[in-house]
Structure 1
Amino acid sequence: MKSSTGIFVFIILLSFFGCKKKEIEKVDKLQFEKSVINTVFLEIVDSIYMDRRVMLPPPSPRTDFKTNKKDTIGYNNELKKYWHYQDSIRNDKNRILIGVYDDVKKISPQETEILPKEINLSKYSYDISKETDEYKFDLKTFANNKKFDFQYTSKYPHQRDWDLNDKNSSMPVGTISVSRIQFNKTKTSGILSAGASCGGGRCGRGFLVIIENKSGKWKIAKIIHTWVS
């Protein structure tokens, strides 16, 4: 009887340590993924972000319908104001306020459908847990970035309600979202989706981002434009 009890306890211990090992491996994998996204995040933002302050096109010439003539004087004045404002934005040394979606979720359905057409997936080991497991993106790493001021989008009204004509500096100029990364079997390449918007529900873009580790440094290898709104 004692022998049976000892075997039972041994099996329980093996099961416990086996589960513990899997939990540790899962944490290690997540920490690795977080370190990779932190490495490439700024490069992704620089490549795809949208600034609602510069999204509106130049004004069109106004026509006097009584005379059927264009108001060139008024138009030229409006055009000067437009380009002066555009230049002021480009020369502005203040940090650019970007809203970052709080949670890092699975690769979006749009990109999932496109993946097999764009990428050879035979070298990738798809992690199904990333379909459900999410985590909050940690912005503390980028708190002192000189170009961008990153804030969680949850601090503001939903971006679809932003007014593209609003020059209020307290609101982000656009939003960024990134997904979980699916790595290849050797952890030297990864795939994620990313999105950018300037608000108002009228301008947004989606991307597949291919990243690679070359000489110990993670960099963007390719960006595939997948959708626009």
Structure 2
Amino acid sequence: MEFEKSVANEIFPALLDSVFHDTRLSPPPPPPPNSEWNDSTAVKWDESKLIAEYEKRKAELEKDTTKLVIAIVDSTYQINERAKKGLIDFYKDFAIELDTANIEQSYKINLSELKHAEKFKLKYRSEFPSTSKIWKGNYDFHLAGITGFSRIQFDRTKSYGVMISGFGCGSLCGFSALVFIRKEKEKWIIDKIMVTGIS
């Protein structure tokens, strides 16, 4: 378990950076309608102003020193059969075999061991209301989202792995995913985040 915890702690900064979505920044504007449309009712617009406003807001947020609080689910999730099968399928070219170590039992995540970007501050999920009321709280900080992660299913050589994670940014805003990781030059990296559910 200590090896697994060290891998989870090592991969966490990249994981948080990958799943994080800043809801203060609206998505970029869509492209204009197809120029081949000749329907007189077709909507036409100049997206350059929208893009300029998007880029301006993005630059403002990048300079913003406000701490973004991320609620971390207190303990790891259980890994499931879908994730185990996903690990074998994703790395099928390497014909990996699953490590048979028991990873059914969850463990409490130690926030002090999780490294992260300076802009984030981590708090346990249990410090907030247990329902969707979490998003209606009157906090003296910006609650930027909720995340967590599962136990890691490794292959026998402990060179490849999969975990379950995701990100919640509102009562009907978030996703869950399989996170495929591998060891490269003695460092753990994220190969792919495969979204499995979204709201």
Q: TM-score range by the shorter chain?
A: 0.7 to 0.9
Partner of 1:182: 153
Indicate yes or no: 2:181 matched with 1:208: no
Indicate yes or no: 2:195 matched with 1:225: yes
User: Would the aligned equivalents of 1:49 and 1:196 in 2 still touch at CA under 8 Å?
Assistant: yes
1:123 partner amino acid? I
User: Would the aligned equivalents of 2:128 and 2:134 in 1 still touch at CA under 8 Å?
Assistant: no
2:182 partner amino acid? E
Secondary structure of 1:192's counterpart equals strand
Secondary structure of 2:103's counterpart equals helix
Partner of 1:20: none
Identity of aligned residues (%): 30
Structure 1 segments unaligned to the other structure (5+ residues) = 1-29, 59-80
How many pairs align? 176
CA distance in 2, matches of 1:221, 1:143: 20
Partner of 1:19: none
Partner of 1:42: 13
Partner of 2:103: 130
Match runs of 1:16-95 below 5 Å: 30-54=1-25, 88-95=60-67
- Give the number of the structure whose residues are more often helix, by fraction: 1
Indicate yes or no: 2:101 matched with 1:152: no
Structure 2 segments unaligned to the other structure (5+ residues) = 30-52
Identify which range, 36-45 or 207-216, moves more after superposition.
207-216
How far did 1:219 drift?
A: 1.1
User: Would the aligned equivalents of 1:124 and 1:182 in 2 still touch at CA under 8 Å?
Assistant: no
CA pair 98-226 structure 1, distance change in 2 beyond 3 A:
same
How far did 1:159 drift?
A: 5.7
User: Would the aligned equivalents of 1:111 and 1:226 in 2 still touch at CA under 8 Å?
Assistant: no
TM-score, scaled relative to structure 1:
0.64
Secondary structure of 1:190's counterpart equals strand
Cα RMSD of the aligned pairs, angstroms, is: 3.3
CA distance in 1, matches of 2:15, 2:116: 17
